[in-house]
Amino acid sequence: MTEQAQIYLASRSPRRRELLQQIGLPFRSLTVAVDETAGENESAEVYVIRLALEKARAGWAQLGDDDERLPVLAADTAVVLDDGTILGQPADRAAGLDMLRQLSGRSHRVLTGLALVDDREATRLSVNTVSFRELDEGEIEAYWATGEPADKAGAYAIQGRGAVFVNHLEGSYSGVMGLPLYEVTDLLAEFDLDYRRSW
């Protein structure tokens, strides 16, 4: 990138990178690994914020003496059923098909936790509601066969083929994609960073 980076993004997600590029924010990427197991009786809201913080902290801890000490942004997204069940990324085909069956004909929440970390820490939470039309077994299996659901929370991508299942969205489209841009810019402002600098 020609512009000097303002942050690191601790994520392997191409969707999150695309969203930062969409608003013209120069960044560098970091790869981090954290245990994503939900705690016992941990609410979805606490879960996504905790994981976002753990990812951002891990990214900040990775930076060496030769690295530019820029704040580290991280996010975590979960699909949550009305009974509180958290749907992360499906472990395999059977899990993915089961998730899509559970989402069929009902509404669910998509929560994305954000964290920005340097010597300070700040978080935000994006809460969105998505409704699916009824899905038949043939289209569930055909959708899985595309490969798109395999690495997505809840086994679907609203920005991809999964959009055909969505009959209502209340909230942030970018939040459902995994990086709510309103909350991102709000965090940047808290750290005195101007996302418009490269415009």
Q: How confident is the model over 22-42, as a mean pLDDT?
A: 90
Q: Which pLDDT belongs to residue 37?
A: 82
Distance CA 160, CA 196 (A): 28
Q: What are phi and psi of 29, to 5 degrees?
A: -100, 145
Distance CA 49, CA 26 (A): 24
Catalytic site includes residue 92 = no
User: Position of tokens 């994305």?
Assistant: 112
- The rounded percent of the chain whose pLDDT value lies above 90 is 82
Distance CA 92, CA 83 (A): 23
Per-residue pLDDT tens for 72-117? 999 999 999 998 899 988 999 999 999 999 999 999 999 999 999 9
Radius of gyration of the chain, Cα coordinates, nearest whole angstrom: 17
Per-residue pLDDT tens for 133-165? 999 999 999 999 999 999 999 999 999 999 999
3-state SS string for 90-106: CCCHHHHHHHHHHHCCC
Predicted model pTM: 0.91
Task: Please pick, among 66, 67, 76, 82, the residue that the annotation labels catalytic.
Answer: 76
Domains of the chain in start order, with CATH, are: 7-198 (3.90.950.10)
Q: Which pLDDT belongs to residue 66?
A: 78
